[in-house]
Chains A and B, each alone.
Chain A
Amino acid sequence: MSAASNKVINPFTEAFGVSSRLAKGFESLGKIDDQEVNVGTTEKELIAEFDKVKLFRYTPLVEQLEDSEPVLIVYGLIGRYTMIDLQEDRSLVRNLLKRGIDVYVVDWGYPSRADQFLSFDDYVGIYLDDCVNATCLNAQTEQLTLFGVCEGGVFTTIYAAHKPQRVSKLVVSITPIDFAAYTEDEDPSHGLINLWLSNMDAEDLSDLVDAYGNLPGEVMGAVFQAITPIKSMTKYNLDLLDVFTNDDKAINFLRMEKWLADRPHHPGVAAKQWMIDLYKENKLVKGEFVLLGEKIDLANITMPVLNLFAEYDHIIPPPCSKGLKNYIASKDYTDLPIKGGHVGIYVSSRLQDLVGDGISGWLKSRSLNSEKEASNAK
């Protein structure tokens, strides 16, 4: 028998270890000031406002911008856009700014019951269109790069198919396109939201939203907790013993918690479209999704497309994202798989450079300057 197997577990030593970590944890917590737990701090300027929707431009971090064409980041209505700028050393925004990219972002605000009748027509057909126009006007360009994250990726994909002339390049990340493809993912922890919504009757989902007016942020929060059952149970007890033994880990944990708790309500009509038309009926890839009275044809997407997805994404199973290439007509399509989770690909310290370089490299190789250089060489 090996030495390792002879090891006797000493409960007193274990208890002492836990007590020491608890003491260290309280010490760490005591050092943290409320002001330090802030997210989305990169400096930005308000460019335009449409009802509750705001368009910001991030202040460039380098003197010479790489490309005159702006990148407009569009987050979804589930959660806040601040995830892309969680903290200084874990920020997609800063990673792009540092690489000379001109970055704009849409802030959808906090929808209330007064906004329950807003639909994809409003968010994509009107507000996003307004933001695209305002961005182009501000940057003095005819076109821009749209960068959609999660549900925002669906918004940008629909917009790019609806108004392809305004979009020079499309970047989508952790974005579901083929909502039924979750069945191709063999990991049992992936695709529970798809399974649960497929199982519900459309009428029940519609009634649920009508009862609350909107899809409450708290309901989505509870769903996200339910799909990682044990993690949700141990997060605020057992896991804290590890987190609070390190000052940096402690503050990162609190920042992430702050972002998670900041969950706006999803406007009702748009929520029904999201859950029924897209999750349940998969209308986007069937060519049946309607925006402003017109069916969206993904084959209108002919501009270069970068599709960034997380291989360990339990919320958006990778096959749902990868499906995009089967429905668009772009000849310049790139998959960028990242070994990380849904939120991890943006907030993990390990992946900061990988994601930043991957996106900026792809953008730069297709920038106006590169195109000019290529044509001069010819």
Chain B
Amino acid sequence: MKINCKESKSEQSEQDQISSIREAIDEWLKIANQQLLDTQRSEEFLQAQKELVKAATSFKVKTREMVEAWSETFDVPTRSEINDLHKTVYALRSELRKVNNELAELKSTATSVAKAKPSKKPVAKAKPAKRVQK
């Protein structure tokens, strides 16, 4: 690998020579950072990163499968079952929100209709529901 030291102090004027250990370290870090950034953009790195992510995901999934096999044996709820529950709750919540919105719209329409056309006859009170004797 060819290191591009154009920016390094080694090629600058004598007045800019490194005068402390800290400066030397900073200079080294600057070059190292550039090298790491170049590496992180290289095809080899991108391919390796892709494989690493796939392997890490696969490891996580396989570990879960193992734990779930054990859990099912001992009737312990599994992550997959809990995920199913989360999905159900999410769907129910969405449905409930939709129904509530529709109800609110209906109420608002009913109110505006009632205000627009006031009925002449008073509305008869609904008879109270009969209690069912147990």
Contact mask for chain B residues 11-27; partner A; CB cutoff 8 A; 1 contact, 0 none: 00011011111101100
B33 within 8 A of A: yes
A-B contact pairs, 14 of them (CB 8 A): A2-B14, A5-B17, A9-B19, A188-B34, A188-B37, A188-B38, A195-B46, A211-B64, A227-B40, A230-B30, A230-B32, A234-B29, A238-B25, A238-B29
The reply to whether the CB of A113 lies closer than 8 angstroms to some CB of chain B is yes
Interface of A is mostly: helix
The answer to whether A113 touches B83 (Cβ under 8 A) is: yes
Please give the distance in Å from A213's CB to the nearest CB on chain B.
7
Is B82 in the interface zone, CB < 8 Å from A? yes
A302 interfacial by beta-carbon distance below 8 Å: no
Please give, as numbers and ranges, the residues of chain A lying within 8 Å of B53 by CB-CB distance. Answer: 200, 204, 208
Closest CB-CB distance, A330 to chain B, in whole Å?
Answer: 30
**A199 and B49 contact, Cβ closer than 8 Å, known pairs A113-B82, A208-B57:** yes
User: Of B20, B41, B64, which one neighbours A188 at CB under 8 angstroms?
Assistant: B41
Interface residues of B in 45-66 (CB under 8 A from A): 46, 49-50, 53-54, 56-57, 60-61, 64
The answer to whether the Cβ of B107 comes within 8 Å of any Cβ in the partner chain is no
Contact in complex: B86, A113 (CB < 8 Å): yes
Known interface pairs A211-B61, A212-B60, A238-B25; A196-B36 also in contact (CB < 8 Å): no
When chains A and B are docked, how far (Å) is the Cα of A297 from the Cα of B34? 40
Complex CA distance for A207 and B14, rounded to whole angstroms:
56
Q: Chain A contacts of B25 at CB under 8 A?
A: 238
B33 — which chain A residues lie within 8 A by C-beta?
189, 229-231
Among B17, B54, B87, B89, contact of A7 (Cβ-Cβ < 8 Å): B17
Q: Chain B interface: which of A41-49, A66-74, A114-122?
A: A114-122
Tell which of B14, B34, B49, B61 touches A5, judged by Cβ atoms closer than 8 Å.
B14
Residues of chain A contacted by B86 (CB below 8 angstroms):
113-114, 116-117
Chain B residues engaging chain A, CB cutoff 8 angstroms: 14-15, 17-22, 24-25, 29-30, 32-34, 36-38, 40-41, 46, 49-50, 53-54, 56-57, 60-61, 64, 82-83, 86-87, 89-90, 97
Q: Which residue of B has the minimal Cβ distance to A51?
A: B93
B37 near A117: Cβ-Cβ < 8 Å: no
Interface size on A, residues (CB 8 A): 35
Closest 7 CB pairs of A and B: A230-B33, A229-B36, A117-B90, A211-B60, A5-B14, A199-B46, A14-B21
Q: Provide the bound-state CA to CA distance between A306 and B16, in Å.
A: 43
Tell me which residues from 91 to 135 in chain A have a Cβ below 8 Å from any Cβ of chain B: 113-114, 116-118, 126
Chain B residues with CB under 8 Å of A329's CB are none
Contact between chains at A230 and B19 (CB < 8 Å): no
The interface residues of chain B lying within 8 Å CB-to-CB of A231 are 33
A207 to B60, CA, bound (A): 10
Please tell me if the beta carbons of A2 and B15 are within 8 angstroms of each other in the complex.
yes
Contact B90 A9, beta carbon cutoff 8 Å? no
Is there contact, CB below 8 Å, between A192 and B14? no
**Bound Cα distance from A343 to B123, whole angstroms:** 64
For the complex, what is the distance from the CA of A227 to the CA of B61, rounded to whole Å? 27
Instruction: For the complex formed, measure the closest distance between the CB of B59 and the CB atoms of chain A, giving whole angstroms.
Output: 9
User: Considering only CB atoms, which chain A residue lies closest to B61 in the complex?
Assistant: A211
Q: A64 → chain B, closest Cβ, in Å?
A: 36
Q: Do the beta carbons of A118 and B90 come within 8 Å of each other?
A: yes
B49: A residues at CB distance < 8 A: 196, 199
Q: How far is the CB of A124 from chain B (nearest CB, A)?
A: 15
From A117, A208, A230, B29 is in contact (CB under 8 Å) with A230
Whole-angstrom distance between the alpha carbons of A126 and B98 in the complex?
A: 11
A200 to B52, CA, bound (A): 11
